[in-house]
Amino acid sequence: MNNEKLLLAKAWDNRIGCAIAIDVLKQLQGEDHPNEVYGVGTVQEEVGLRGARTSAHAIKPDIGFGVDVGIAGDMPGVSDKDAAAKLGDGPQVILYDASMISHKGVRDFVVNTAEENDIPFQYDSMAGGGTDSGAIHLTANGVPSLSITVPTRYIHSHAAMLHRDDYEHAVKLIVEVIKKLDADTVENITFN
Ligand SMILES: [Zn+2]
């Protein structure tokens, strides 16, 4: 676009999630951390979080992050009560959607990590719709999970638009979170 930070393309939902997963894995290569990290491109999210259900069953993660597009509200005809997020103000930390209420321990850990590293973020919620976290968090005995999303205009159209900085900040945030995680930290997050 005229503003080179604004990227317009079809199917950002959810190619941007795949890009985040790939970039997180690339940036963690060579970093010292004790975790096994899986990036999954799931199928059939839109029709019932189905691929997330089977892949989370296969992996049995200790902790999970759904990466997806979120709704951007900074456009004509949409009020702040309808959608609060603005392009360029940072990835969204989802408090709740129709598929889950986010895990408070994971949320606090992610927010603290963002603040420590000066990574911008925005809180958001969606009474309708969900993300793969909705299936991940119900796996086995339960998986502490959180959705981190990139605010996007016109999702589910052929011309969706997002801000490059929000995408890069989402990657950085998840990388910093994973670098801080280990078995004890996950235990603390899960049971405290
Ligand atoms: Zn969608």
CA of 45 from ligand 1 middle (Å) equals 8
Kindly report, residue by residue over 79-111, the tens digit of the pLDDT. Answer: 878 788 999 999 999 999 999 999 999 999 999
Cα torsion 18, 116, 143, 133: sign: negative
Residue 8 β-bridge partners:
161
Query: Per the CATH hierarchy, to which homologous superfamily does domain 6-186 belong?
Result: Zn peptidases (3.40.630.10)
CA of 177 from ligand 1 middle (Å) equals 25
Active site residues: 45
- In whole angstroms, what is the distance from residue 117 CA to residue 165 CA? 15
- Phi-psi region for residue 142, left (φ > 0), alpha (ψ -120 to 50) or beta? left
Q: How far is CA 70 from CA 125, 143, 168, 190, 191, in A?
A: 9, 22, 15, 25, 29
Give the pTM. 0.96
Name, in order, each residue with C-beta under 8 angstroms of 190's C-beta and a sequence gap of 6 or more: 62, 63, 105, 144
Nearest residue to 66 (alpha-carbon basis) of 126, 128, 142, 149? 149
Note residues around ion ligand 1 (Cβ under 5 angstroms).
Answer: 13
Looking at residue 76, its pLDDT comes to 85
CA of 160 from ligand 1 middle (Å) equals 11
The CA radius of gyration of the chain, in Å to the nearest whole number, is 16
> Is cis: bond before 112, omega within 30 of 0?
no
CA of 70 from ligand 1 middle (Å) equals 9
Q: Which amino acid is at 11?
A: A
Residue ranges of the chain whose pLDDT lies below 70? none
